[in-house]
Structure 1
Amino acid sequence: MAELDEERMCWICLEGDVEPSQHTHWVHPCRCSGSNKWVHHRCLNRWIDELQSQYPKKPIACPQCRTKYLIWMPPLCRFDALLVWIDDTLNMVCPSVAMAALSAVLFFSTVTFGALTMIQIVGYNETLTLLHEQTTLASIALPTIPAGLLLTRHIRVDRPFLRFLHIFRSRHQDLQPEDLDEQGEPLPGAPLGDDYFDELPEEHGPEDINLQLGAQVIFSEEARGAAASFVVALSLPSFAVLLGRTVYGNIGNRYMGIFLGGITFLGIKGLASAYMRHAYLQRMRGRFVPQEVQL
């Protein structure tokens, strides 16, 4: 009786028994004591709904005494329970089905790309003969063609050119002895050397990024470098065949011409990348901050 006579105050809405109403339902769901142990039933339900919407798997507990609330739900009828079971089963099965469908689409896409690459290099009739006679081997080997082409992205052909440019610059742009301390480190205020600029990140950022959904991410500045590298790697056979037929068409062996065309394409790509890196570092060396106020 003493608990009913004490002044109650809801710790959520901070309203008390000043204006009691017959529609107000008070509950005491935890081990808290005092006037703040009471809470309106409707306020508690709203508070629980907000927490469950943010943290569905987190147990609901009192923020003061950390007592976990015992939430009782009315039992479902058989029809509702059947619908819930079907929904839970679909939620468990559908991700696996979707992953299998995406894997099948990716597999057939890689097989198709590998077959088109074989047609470009070997020829149409020879590729059809190979597919009819060695079906199992072709189904295993063809998907590895685009995978191998994508691995060529990690072959940095521009590194030898950049190393040569670094050696050439170091002969003309070494720091003077008066700019170094006893340990050979640059003094404060000394000009920046080649080692500092060589460690700068690339102008267009890394080529490998995490794939995310959304047009804003796909067409962002960070994704353009990765997309360009992806397309160039997959187009290597086409450029190899084109250069093999035009530049090395006089060679009697067709496959040797295609091989030399691919090497030439990689060399041109590496040389262009090295030149762009060199030009970017030269621009970084020549940057300055203009003085706004003349002293």
Structure 2
Amino acid sequence: MSRRPIRSSETQIIFSPESPRYDRTCWVCLASDKDDDAGPVLKDWVRPCRCRGTTKWVHQACLQRWIDEKQAGNAAAPVLCSQCRTQYRIVCPKLGPLFECFEEYEKIIDAFSPLATAFLVLGGVGWCANRFGMLSLTQTLGSDATAALLENRDPVLIHVTVPLIPFVLAGSRFIDWHTYGLRLYWWSQSQLKRFVLGDDGCERNEAEANSTSRMREPAELKSSSDAATITRRVMGGLLLPTCAAVCGQLLFDGLIEEQWKKSLLGGFVYVLGKGIVKMMYRHQQYVRQASRTILSWDES
């Protein structure tokens, strides 16, 4: 079957962009030149970017709606073509002098608002940290000793070091020394058994224990890192000077006169005692996990 040859005039009519019958297709609504009878709004075509082919042309009204969705209410936000990444050139009618001044004022406020907010937040945090640091020094050293300490020091050094006190206290609670102490306890137990019983006796003891005991070796318990644990550690670090002062007052009131010595010893006793109790508790958790059993399903 022979094909009818295409005349050059027909090719010019179909594919020439300058021809009014050029078949353009909107990439938003997928309407073409043949569908322009639907309304006069769809007759306004625009080529807003470097795209070619089917994504070259778009209706002005369709593109306006698409840009509104992309800007999401922010009329000053730039919009890029999703294909060639060309920024659309959006031109709006000029405002009057009064509204142009107001628009520039809004731009200046938008530019400086993040900086001003950050300055106020950091200033508030610094002021609170400075007050808390002074309170911690007063609790541990006493009011007279704190006043004498700050009186003979450089003000710049004071304003830099005192606000760091709450951050140092909170950060110290994230040093998990209990785990290292518990591992040292387990290691010392094994070394003591090997020293007393010897290698052969220790191996026989472990074999007998495994044959008669139901205990297994569970995974090592790790500290939780959820939000409750983090906030608990932060609060524990911030309350450390208060707990140290209270323990020092209760334990060493009649023995030591200086407030800072009582607070130092009280804090040492508080941290050491709490750490030992926590290590014993974690050891019991480990033993409990090693002795756990799983029950069979009871169909009744």
| TM-based fold match above 0.5 | yes
Does the 8 Å contact 1:51/1:60 carry over to 2? no
Q: What is the identity percentage for the equivalent residue pairs of Structure 1 and Structure 2?
A: 21
Unaligned stretches of 5+ residues in structure 1: 180-190, 207-221
Residues 1:12 and 2:28 are matched in the alignment: yes
Describe how 1:49-68 pairs up with structure 2 within 5 A: 49-53=68-72, 60-61=80-81, 63=83, 66=84, 68=86
TM-score in terms of structure 1 length: 0.70
Does the 8 Å contact 1:114/1:145 carry over to 2? yes
Task: Classify the secondary structure of the residue corresponding to 2:287.
Answer: helix
Q: Deviations over 1:212-268 (max 9, x none)?
A: xxxxxxxxxx22111111111111111111111212234234333322211111112
Distance of aligned partners of 1:163 and 1:23 in 2 relative to their CA distance in 1, 3 Å threshold: closer
TM-fit CA distance, 1:37:
4.4
Does the 8 Å contact 2:80/2:86 carry over to 1? yes
Unaligned stretches of 5+ residues in structure 2: 1-12, 194-201
* Number of the residue aligned with 2:228: 224
TM-fit CA distance, 1:271:
2.1
Equivalent-residue separation in structure 1 for 2:175 and 2:252 (angstroms): 24
Q: Deviations over 1:132-179 (max 9, x none)?
A: 554715434422322332232243331353124433776699986xx9
Does the 8 Å contact 1:121/1:241 carry over to 2? yes
Equivalent-residue separation in structure 2 for 1:275 and 1:282 (angstroms): 11
Equivalent-residue separation in structure 2 for 1:148 and 1:33 (angstroms): 63
TM-fit CA distance, 1:6:
4.6
* Number of the residue aligned with 2:272: 267
TM-score in terms of structure 2 length: 0.69
Equivalent-residue separation in structure 2 for 1:293 and 1:58 (angstroms): 65
Task: Classify the secondary structure of the residue corresponding to 1:251.
Answer: coil
Does the 8 Å contact 1:240/1:258 carry over to 2? yes
Task: Classify the secondary structure of the residue corresponding to 1:10.
Answer: coil
Task: Classify the secondary structure of the residue corresponding to 1:74.
Answer: coil
Match of 1:278 among 274, 283, 287: 283
* Number of the residue aligned with 1:238: 242
Distance of aligned partners of 1:135 and 1:165 in 2 relative to their CA distance in 1, 3 Å threshold: closer
Equivalent-residue separation in structure 1 for 2:85 and 2:170 (angstroms): 55
Distance of aligned partners of 1:33 and 1:143 in 2 relative to their CA distance in 1, 3 Å threshold: closer
1:13 counterpart letter in structure 2: C
TM-fit CA distance, 1:276:
3.8
* Number of the residue aligned with 2:113: 94
**Larger C-alpha radius of gyration, 1 or 2?**
2
Distance of aligned partners of 1:26 and 1:37 in 2 relative to their CA distance in 1, 3 Å threshold: farther
Match of 1:110 among 109, 126, 129: 129
Residues 1:83 and 2:102 are matched in the alignment: yes
Does the 8 Å contact 1:130/1:138 carry over to 2? no
Does the 8 Å contact 1:157/1:266 carry over to 2? no
**Would you tell me which structure has more helix in proportion to its own residues?**
2
1:232 counterpart letter in structure 2: G
RMSD across aligned positions (CA): 3.7
